[in-house]
A and B are shown apart, each in its own frame.
Chain A
């Protein structure tokens, strides 16, 4: 936790500096009073202040026992989740919701260790349930693909 806190503090300080770089050319209202830059600049100062406080506190902490880092399989699972969302965003307008959802759910469940049969059944049931709830009951126009599904 100590090393991560130092990195975290550094990230927030960098974010504060970034905010200053963005706001320096914001326009001001009449008479030179603060305008759109006031609140973000205040937040930038707070990011830098609290980020420094976090780093200083982390430096005082005694190193705890080694953190348990998740194994590569678990990290791969997490990245797979992110990839599923990214693929959904990329293909749903071409392929349509029903097929995209069923296929991606199947792949994700398989990756998480569910058997092929259970993955297939669960992914179809969940897709149909979501379609029923959103498309039929709430009348949200879910994307149709080239097949019209």
Chain B
């Protein structure tokens, strides 16, 4: 109880409350504008968090991401374009229901069930993270190696589109992580005599380039989007919500747990959670024919799952320092910047900060309802912000944000290179999120592998003989070979059916 109060005291002060309010507005704005993602918003937020104390820095990311993931539902319902990828699974259903005159119900369900999902995720985070931290104390370099390898593998398996392209993106991120001084001999790798590269590819300009600048380039290539915006009466969004909750309470429980569990898996984020919850919902629904044509049940399930996933993503990030998704990959970077090491020790040395994060999740999800209501009221104005003014603004923010970290013009150049790389990759179907995970997990994989080998004088058997290592190894190998397995099973099934 003492520690909860300590966490609360860190949260309840004017500066942190101001950060929460500003981050909430920022998250709602970014989430509601199609093309601007929560990961991009987090990347642009980093330069500010660099100058903040740890608690407001972490709280700002928690609040922003919770609001952004909900706010992506707004344009999905009003314009048939998801504001963030996590709303894509149920965009069609949302828009169809809005066309049938039920826009208020859709948006009410979006805001309330997102908040409920987020609260469920927060409670699971609060209860499971300390338990997992106890187990994590027994982890050594062997276990961390397999855990990071499992995270990389899961990232590839769940990446959207081609898994080969997802793998190549991830390997590119791993390659970027090798730039700089190596861990064994301190030898400079791929620096080409450039002093600034001795510290490696600077994480922050790289993120800003990959997510911010690439989106600006993509936007100017698409031109101005003009779309009709459906009108809704914000004051009516909460009518009928209790009936929805009574009717779909089992769905809410199932999707909240499912979303949180998917978040706990390293590499799987809110968009994956929404898609999986949609598929599970359709399978178990009494009205599957409505899915895709206007199913409120689909929106309940997916909307709950994607917000629940956000808290789940923090479990591996806090307990192991392994990101649950691309936003928590950024969070891990922020933690290191603040001199905090994610891992089980943070629960011992800085429990007040950990509890402040838990309470921030709860507060953000409670605030989602009044703030979400205001965002829905302002939605038609937000959706009309002209992109040819917005995008130059985002570009200049990106430039200054990249410069601000080290007062270095080189970092602005790095941002530009990463922006062009990110643009060309996404234009050709290569997902960009695995690059982030590769950059963050690469040093963990290499460091733990090399340390394990050096301390055992290159005896690799302990990677397979230690009990937890062996389990993690089997899970990782299963993830690697599962697509092959599934393809062979499918071919055999088709042959038997002929």
Contacts and interface: CB of A to CB of B under 8 A. Distances in A.
Contacts, number: 154
Contact of A57 (B51, B164, B185, B423): B164
A105 B404 contact: no
Nearest to B188: A36
Given A43-B171, A138-B48, A113 B399 contact: no
B395 A81 contact: yes
A138 B46 CA distance: 12
Contacts of B389: 109, 114, 118, 122
Contact of A81 (B168, B182, B216, B429): B216
Given A19-B175, A75-B221, A89-B409, A36 B189 contact: yes
Contact of A113 (B182, B217, B388): B388
Contacts of A127: 396
A120 B174 CA distance: 43
Interface in B100-147: none
A33 B404 contact: no
Contact of A50 (B167, B399, B429, B453): B167
Which applies to chain A's interface (DSSP): helix, strand, loop or mixed? helix
Interface residues of A, number: 63
Interface string A36-51: 1011100100110011
Contacts of A93: 409
Nearest to B187: A36
Contacts of A26: 187, 189
B187 A39 contact: no
Interface stretch (B293-301, B368-376, B412-420): B412-420
A82 interface: yes
Given A53-B164, A105-B392, A140 B221 contact: no
Contact of A46 (B47, B171, B399, B449): B171
Nearest to A19: B175
A33 B460 CA distance: 13
17 contacts: A22-B189, A35-B182, A35-B187, A39-B446, A39-B449, A40-B175, A40-B190, A82-B416, A85-B416, A101-B396, A109-B389, A114-B388, A130-B397, A134-B47, A134-B404, A139-B51, A140-B400
